[in-house]
Amino acid sequence: MNTPIQLLQQNWNYNTFKPLQEEIITSVIEGNDTFALLPTGGGKSICFQIPALVKEGICIVISPLIALMQDQVLGLQQKGIKAIALSSGIKYSELDALLDNCIYGNYKFLYLSPERLQQDLVKERLKKMNINLIAVDEAHCISQWGNDFRPSYRKIKILRKLKPAVPIIALTASATTDVVDDIITELDLFQPKVCRQSFSRDNLGYIVYYTSDKNYKILQILKKYTGSAIIYVRNRKSAVEISDFLNSNGHAATYYHGGVDTKEKTKRFQLWLQDDARIMVATNAFGMGIDKPNVRTVIHFNIPESIESYFQEAGRAGRDGKKAYAFLIKNENDILRVKNQFIKVLPDVDFVKLVYRKLSNFFRISYGEGEQTIHGFNFNHFCKTYEFNTLLTYNALQFLDRCSIISFAQRFTKKSSIHITTTGNQLLRYLEENPQYENITKAILRTYGGIFDEEVPVNLSLIASRVQSHEYEVIEVLKKLQDLDLLQFNHTLTDAEIIFLVPREDDHTINRVKPDIKEQRSSKVKKVEAIINFVQNDVICRSKQLLTYFGEKNTQDCGICDVCNSKNHTIGNTNKISKEIIRLLQENHLSSRNIISQLAYPEDIVLTVLRELNEHKVIKINQNNKYQLV
| String of DSSP letters for 366-411 | PTT--TTEEEEE-HHHHHHHHT--HHHHHHHHHHHHHTTSEEEEE-
Q: How far apart are CA 274 and CA 278, in angstroms?
A: 9
Other beta carbons within 10 angstroms of residue 433's beta carbon come to 8
User: If one looks up domain 340-412+495-526 in CATH, what number appears?
Assistant: 1.10.10
Q: State which amino acid sits at residue 73.
A: V
Residue-level length of the chain: 630
Residues 6+ apart with CB under 8 A from 259: 236, 412, 413, 414, 459, 461, 462
In which residue ranges of the chain is pLDDT below 50?
Answer: 412-414
Other beta carbons within 10 angstroms of residue 255's beta carbon come to 27
User: 3-state class of 296 per DSSP?
Assistant: strand
Cβ proximity of 501 and 404 under 8 Å: yes
Cβ proximity of 546 and 311 under 8 Å: yes
Residues 6+ apart with CB under 8 A from 75: none
Q: How far apart are CA 87 and CA 91, in angstroms?
A: 11
Residues 6+ apart with CB under 8 A from 508: none
Helices 349-362 and 379-386: angle between axes, nearest 10 degrees = 110
Sign of CA dihedral 481, 485, 486, 491: positive
% helix, strand, coil for the chain, step of 5: 50, 15, 35
Cβ proximity of 50 and 4 under 8 Å: yes
Q: How far apart are CA 270 and CA 267, in angstroms?
A: 5
Dihedral pair phi/psi, residue 352, rounded to 5°: -60, -40
Q: How far is C-alpha 60 from the chain's CA centre?
A: 25
pLDDT at position 535 is 95
User: 3-state class of 102 per DSSP?
Assistant: helix
Q: How far apart are CA 304 and CA 310, in angstroms?
A: 6
Q: State which amino acid sits at residue 433.
A: E
pLDDT at position 411 is 58
pLDDT at position 415 is 63
pLDDT at position 493 is 60
Sign of CA dihedral 574, 580, 581, 583: positive
Question: 569-629 belongs to which CATH class?
Answer: mainly alpha
Of 292, 259, 248, give the one whose Cα is nearest residue 274: 292
Note the helical H segments in 451-602: 460-466, 471-483, 507-511, 514-536, 542-549, 562-568, 574-587, 592-598
Q: Please give the order of strands across the beta sheet that includes 406-410.
A: 373-377, 496-500, 406-410
User: If one looks up domain 4-196 in CATH, what number appears?
Assistant: 3.40.50.300
User: If one looks up domain 204-331 in CATH, what number appears?
Assistant: 3.40.50.300
Longest dimension (CA), the chain: 87
pLDDT at position 413 is 45
